[in-house]
Structure 1
Amino acid sequence: MELDQLTQNAISLLKSLIEKQSFSSEEENTALLIEGWFNEYKMSFKRTKNNVWATNKFFDDSKPTILLNSHHDTVKPNSAYTNNPFEAIVKEGKLYGLGSNDAGGCLVSLIATFTHFYAKENLKYNLVIVASAEEESSGPNGLNSMLAIIPKIDVAIVGEPTLMNLAIAEKGLVVFDAVVKGTPSHAAHPNNDNSIYNTISVLQWFKDFKFDKTSDALGDVKMTVTQIAAGSQHNVVPAHVDLVIDVRVNDAYTNQEIAAILQEKAPCKITPRSLRLNSSSISKNHDLVKAGISMGRETYGSPTLSDQSVLTCQSLKLGPGDSTRSHSADEFIYINEIEEGIEIYVELLNRVIIK
């Protein structure tokens, strides 16, 4: 099939995806739509829970493998929507709808790209595609659950909105729970160990603390106190104050190193919730990156988290759309961004996997 027709069909698929609710862990109906695409193009595929995946027709175990991945779950629409979030509306070159930009445009562009290469013989690399679930919630049944099921992968292209520039690194995430302790008492009595007052210096410490190592692609580790909770009665000084700290980790540290540093140095008890959402990167000397640069695409480091965080191989974040539109009211993607996305994906892979 001509690439132009494949592109138009991909845009039609995105419209259908928008009009099916697919909150994280509730992606059954969008998985069925994706199955329908594979059936229509007579491509063999498998479905594991709400993850739909396939390998190219002439998969060869002796060759390295590229993963193409994006997700079909969405966040819930925020209250500021003026459009129906589940209606695909095209206006002034924009396709509106929940999940259009994050990451439906990327997903259908990668599906179309995979379809283009599916039956080609004598490729340098195998291709595996995973249309994954539960990305927005970092749930247990998303891409992370597929890594033991799909063939071993050597490098990945993760479809997230990057304006089709090359995100060659991505910050990881560790969320910490911290506790500032004090002495509980009646508010009417003297208390020099008030947990809330004790929190003032602790908050200042978190505000001022800097990690030593920086990254060319990702800059500094960013640590932010995002939640605070204490007390239940106006006349009782609470025994403790609970804090939540969001730490965005550059590729100069592992999550385990960040946790060790904070547990040693923080002026309060601090506990990581999970250490599995790691930073990720790909060498500038990798063929995918060199091909993208030769096509005029810029490189940068991404501050936002994606399914790259669960991969252990090198990975490149690349996709149509703009990350600043993600999770916004009246989310949209430009139609021509999808058209350009498919064109760039195909040309990029042409330069890397065609002998």
Structure 2
Amino acid sequence: MEELLAEIEEWNETRLSNDLQEIVKIASVSGEEQQLAHYLHERFTTLGLQSEIDRHGNVIARLIGDHPGPRIVLNSHMDTVGYGNGWTYDPLGAEIKDGRLYGRGSCDCKASIVTHILAAEQLVGRTQELHGELIITHVVEEEVQNKARKGTFKLLEDGFEADMAVNGEAIDMNIGLACGGMVELAVTTYGKRAHGSTPKEGVNAITNMFALASELLKLEPGYHPYTGEGSIVLGVIEGGERSSVVPDECRLKVSRFIVPGEKGEDFLADVEHIIEERKRQDASFQAKVEMTYVSKPALTDKNEPIVQGLTKAMETLGLPVTYSGTPQHNDADYLVNKGGIPTVIYGPGRIRLGHVPDEYVDLSEVVTAAKVLTLALYQVLTRSV
């Protein structure tokens, strides 16, 4: 391990900035990841890994050790959200200023992809020491709100298996043991149409929605020490035709961001209970609710080997160790809950910078994260942790 430590200690921002600039300059908004996938496939092939682009567009690269052992997957996503307004830097310019690289996806999650490349490059010449297999999966459409389109979900549907995973997401340089989930409900209230001059002859569906929403907002979001407090968001409301007509229908989309220990079905039951209580109090009240989207929180035990590997690597490098999680949802959900794969979230960058104008990542963090990840993988795959 001393030799490996000496080698990675020589890493600096110059070593990785060119890679990250190249990747950020490749546009890869959800559904348009093909160019980046081919770049990564060629890069891994050149490094000496077994690489392929599967039928979904995911890049899958393999490094197989000379001895039997666990299968570790490094997972991250190639796609980004759109650019939006408010940028002072070119979203595809990958400009470096004061040690920060700016551009869409720089933080979420192309910096993590670069750390995976560096780790693979460092380990590819050490297969005689490795017990097990390293698989890198860089997937499509993680950012879309439809699990059937998500690359990681599709991999697992195809039967992908692993013993442990690192999900590369920005997490403020902490070790992430949890992610939040989200449930979206569509609520419809009904009324009776009437002329606006005689409103008492009708039943106002918008007024009914206000009454329901006020009760809904009294619900207390959950809390978990790794993800923090959940939230309830009234996201979309539609109803009515014109101000002179009492509306007979109003529609609301509401999301609840849930924490480990909560289920989307619980939120549905809460809203159903509110509706029944309103009906009991007001015979004219009519409403329905349906769950239109749900993703689950994920939680991994601190004693899992991959967590211990990252912990020991950070300690070896003299870095403070903090365990946390992400309040937002990510692919740790599917890896843990669908794949049964203990998953830690780890990658450079600050959570709050994803999806915003002038997204950036500190290059010093990318260097540090690459060192930690490489050392952790080496320790787990050489059974030194």
**Could you state the TM-score of these two structures normalised by the residue count of structure 1?**
0.90
Structure with more helix by fraction: 2
After TM superposition, the structure 1 = structure 2 runs for residues 251-262 of structure 1, keeping only pairs within 5 Å, are: 251-262=260-271
Q: SS at the partner of 1:45?
A: strand
Decide which of 75, 78, 84 is 1:78's aligned counterpart.
84
2:103 is aligned with 1:97: yes
Is the CA contact 2:189–2:288 (under 8 Å) kept in the aligned structure 1? yes
| Alignment partner of 1:305 is 2:329 | yes
SS of aligned partner of 2:111: helix
Comparing 287-296 with 150-159, greater Cα deviation is found at 287-296
Q: Any idea what the Cα deviations from partners look like across 1:199-251, whole Å, max 9, x if unmatched? A: 2221111110136x653433554222121111122322221111111111111
AA partner of residue 283 (structure 1): D
Q: Whole-Å Cα distance in 2 between the matches of residues 6 and 147 of structure 1? A: 36
Q: Deviation at 1:348?
A: 2.1
Which residue, out of 100, 104, 115, partners 2:121?
Answer: 115
Match of 2:308 among 286, 290, 301: 290
Correspondence for 1:209 = 219
Instruction: State the alpha-carbon separation in 2 of the partners of residues 6 and 112 from structure 1.
Output: 12
Compare CA radii of gyration and give the structure with the larger one: 2
Q: Contact 1:206–1:224 at 8 Å: present in 2 too? A: no
Question: CA offset at residue 174 of structure 1?
Answer: 1.0
Partner of 2:22: 16
Structure 1 pair 227–253 and aligned structure 2 pair: CA distance change class (3 A) = same
TM-fit CA distance, 1:63: 3.5
Structural mapping, 1:216-227, within 5 Å: 216-227=225-236
C-alpha separation between the residues in 1 aligned to 2:168 and 2:179?
Answer: 13
List gaps (5 residues or longer) in structure 2: 279-286
Distance in 2 between residues matched to 1:348 and 1:207, nearest whole Å: 44
**Residue 271 in 1 paired to residue 290 in 2?**
yes
* Equivalent residues in 2 for 1:333-348, closer than 5 Å: 333-348=361-376
Q: CA deviation at 1:318?
A: 0.9
| RMSD over aligned Cα atoms | 2.4
Separation in 2, partners of 1:59, 1:169: 33
| Number of aligned positions between the proteins | 352
Equivalent residue letter for 1:100: S
Is the contact made by 2:130 and 2:378 (CA closer than 8 Å) also made in structure 1? no
1:93-131 deviations in Å (ceiling 9; x for gaps): 111111111111011112221332245235344221101
Give yes or no for contact 1:222–1:249 (8 Å, CA) kept in 2: yes
| 2:345 paired residue number | 317
> Would the aligned equivalents of 1:206 and 1:225 in 2 still touch at CA under 8 Å?
no
User: What TM-score, normalized to structure 2?
Assistant: 0.84
One-letter identity of the residue aligned with 1:317: I
How far apart, in 1, do the equivalents of 2:219 and 2:355 lie? 30
Inter-partner Cα distance in structure 2 for 1:112 and 1:27: 21
SS in 1 for 2:114: helix
Counterparts in 2 of 1:118 and 1:236: CA distance versus 1, 3 Å:
farther
Cα distance, 1:88–1:134 mapped onto 2, change above 3 Å: same
In the TM superposition, what are the counterparts of 1:40-189 in structure 2 within 5 Å?
40-48=46-54, 49-58=56-65, 63-119=69-125, 120-139=127-146, 140-149=149-158, 151-189=160-198
Q: Secondary structure at the match of 1:339?
A: helix
Conserved? CA contact 2:191–2:249, under 8 Å: yes
1:38 Cα deviation after fit: 1.2
Matched, 1:326 2:333: no
Name 1:195's counterpart in structure 2.
205
Distance in 2 (CA, whole Å) between partners of 1:96 and 1:327 is 12
2:284 matched to which residue of 1?
none
